[in-house]
Amino acid sequence: MTSAPAHPFLHAFAPPAKPESDFVTIVRGRGSVVYDDKGKDYIDALASLWYCQIGHGRGEMTEAVTAQMERLAAYQTFDPFTNEPAARLAEMVSERSPLPDGRVFFGCSGSEAVDTALKLARLVAQRRGEPDRQVVIKRTHGYHGTNFGGTSAQGIAANREGWGDLVPHFLEVPNRDIEAMATAFARHGERVAAVIAEPVQGGGGIYPPPDGYLEGVRRLCDRHGALMILDEVICGFGRTGEWFGAQTFGVTPDLMTFAKGVTSGYLPLSGVIASRRVCEAIEEPGFVLRTGYTYSGHPTAAAAGIRNLEIIADESLVERARHVGRALADGLDALAADGLIASHRGAGAVRGAVLEGDAAPVRADMLARGVIVRPIGNVLALCPPLVITDDEIGRIIDTMADSIRAVA
Ligand SMILES: Cc1ncc(COP(=O)(O)O)c(C=O)c1O
């Protein structure tokens, strides 16, 4: 017996054998709420996939994007071309970052940003006359996208498996252990091009850094001539209560990746901020940076980024992230006091509720009750739009409590 052909849509991070009809069809969104094709509403407690800082359905974004499309929808930025939205967004991003004299390279996805940052780190070593400096230290539970560089940099073993050989010279250390990092440097220091780390690990289970950890990584990088890459794809643009996680945790990296919150996901856009020091290694007249993407500096995506950053500033959403984080933490404290969850952790408005068992059945029950969260092992990840209301936060917490009781 031959099975019926599957639907043409092959989903990301999903079982290919799952029928299309078993997926939830989201048809519209407004603020922190999305609706499916049957009219059911859901609180989007994950901001889609950690990205929708300003909430769904914002007319200002439609207007900004439409205006740009009517002028010039798209044009390439390979030499000799540029465009005003991309140049303006580069200024806006660098001004808000801890690298105000840095430069911004654009891509479309976090994975493209990560692979570019890894290439730039190695390029700097090559150009400084250190051809053997190619090792990248990465951490358990790290998530750095799914291109080959990012897959090799993953600290989530399951995401690395099944693809054949990955990129060589990646070295994994435990995620919150500065001694392990120091040992790796002691053994391989002269060969280390960079360390890559998320300020708060997101996809691997919401692990904030221990006090002083990122400063310790910074010191080790400086001592051994390596670059520090902060992967800010989730933490960037207010999520941790400052524009970037680097500022929340008081460190200045050499390279920073961003995506998601830069446009709140209205259009795909990502980038790498390169520090002055990194730029100086490549700004030699005559040298050509031979990497980039067709859509690097896409003007309509950049227009979405500009309008999104204006909204984040106008509505004080960076400060609001601290309030959202406190409200989530208070709710989760209450669940822990009632013995419903074991603990919780996070920073700003990205938090994980640690359950006693597998989080997947609780996620399924919460989804049925109209709240979207993400299960990661025994953790339920929360990362709502920064415009979420206190009532909506209350509904997330109450639903989590109901679902944990129901599943138990
Ligand atoms: C920290 C981090 N880096 C990189 C990525 C990859 O981004 P994308 O899925 O846009 O390629 C993600 C995606 O969640 C991420 O969380």
| pLDDT, tens digit (0-9, with 9 covering 90-100), for 283-302 | 999 999 999 999 999 999 99
Across residues 265-274, what is the average pLDDT? Answer: 98
> Does residue 259 have its Cβ closer than 6 Å to ligand 1?
yes
Residue intervals in the chain for CATH 3.90.1150.10: 20-54+316-407
CATH superfamily of the domain spanning 20-54+316-407: Aspartate Aminotransferase, domain 1 (3.90.1150.10)
> Does residue 116 have its Cβ closer than 6 Å to ligand 1?
no
Ligand 1 atom, smallest distance to 232 CA: 1
Across residues 385-402, what is the average pLDDT? Answer: 98
227-239 pLDDT, tens digit per residue, is 999 999 999 999 9
Q: What is the pLDDT of residue 262?
A: 98
For the domain made up of 60-314, give the CATH fold.
Aspartate Aminotransferase; domain 2 (3.40.640)
Q: What is the pLDDT of residue 16?
A: 97
What sign has the CA pseudo-torsion 317, 27, 391, 208? negative
Pocket test for ligand 1, best of 233, 237, 262, 383 (most atoms within 8 A of CB): 233
Helix (H) or strand (E) holding 2, with range, is: none
Average pLDDT, the chain: 98
Kindly give the residue spans of alpha helices, DSSP state H, lying in 195-350. 213-224, 245-248, 276-282, 299-314, 317-337
Whether the pLDDT of residue 1 is over 80: the answer is: no
Query: For residue 303, which of 94, 51, 62 has the smallest C-alpha distance?
Result: 62
Q: How far is the CA of 334 from the centre of ligand 1 (A)?
A: 31
DSSP 8-state assignment for residue 56: B
Beta-ladder partners of 379: 354, 376
Spatial strand order in the sheet of 26-30 = 26-30, 33-36, 41-44, 371-372
Q: Which residues contact 9 (CB under 8 A, 6 or more apart)?
A: 20
Query: DSSP secondary structure string, 313-325?
Result: HHTTHHHHHHHHH
188-222 pLDDT, tens digit per residue, is 999 999 999 999 999 999 999 999 999 999 999 99
Q: How far is the CA of 39 from the centre of ligand 1 (A)?
A: 30
> Does residue 77 have its Cβ closer than 6 Å to ligand 1?
no
Q: What is the pLDDT of residue 41?
A: 98
Q: What is the pLDDT of residue 5?
A: 80
**For the chain, what percent of residues have pLDDT higher than 70?**
99
343-364 pLDDT, tens digit per residue, is 999 999 999 999 999 999 999 9
- CB 83 within 8 Å of CB 297: yes
141-157 pLDDT, tens digit per residue, is 999 999 999 999 999 99
Ligand 1 atom, smallest distance to 109 CA: 10
Q: What is the pLDDT of residue 4?
A: 72
Q: How far is CA 158 from the centre of its chain?
A: 19
> Does residue 110 have its Cβ closer than 6 Å to ligand 1?
yes
The alpha-carbon radius of gyration of the chain (Å, integer) is: 21
Residue intervals in the chain for CATH 3.40.640.10: 60-314
What's the pTM value of the predicted model, to 2 decimals?
Answer: 0.98
108-164 pLDDT, tens digit per residue, is 999 999 999 999 999 999 999 999 999 999 999 999 999 999 999 999 999 999 999
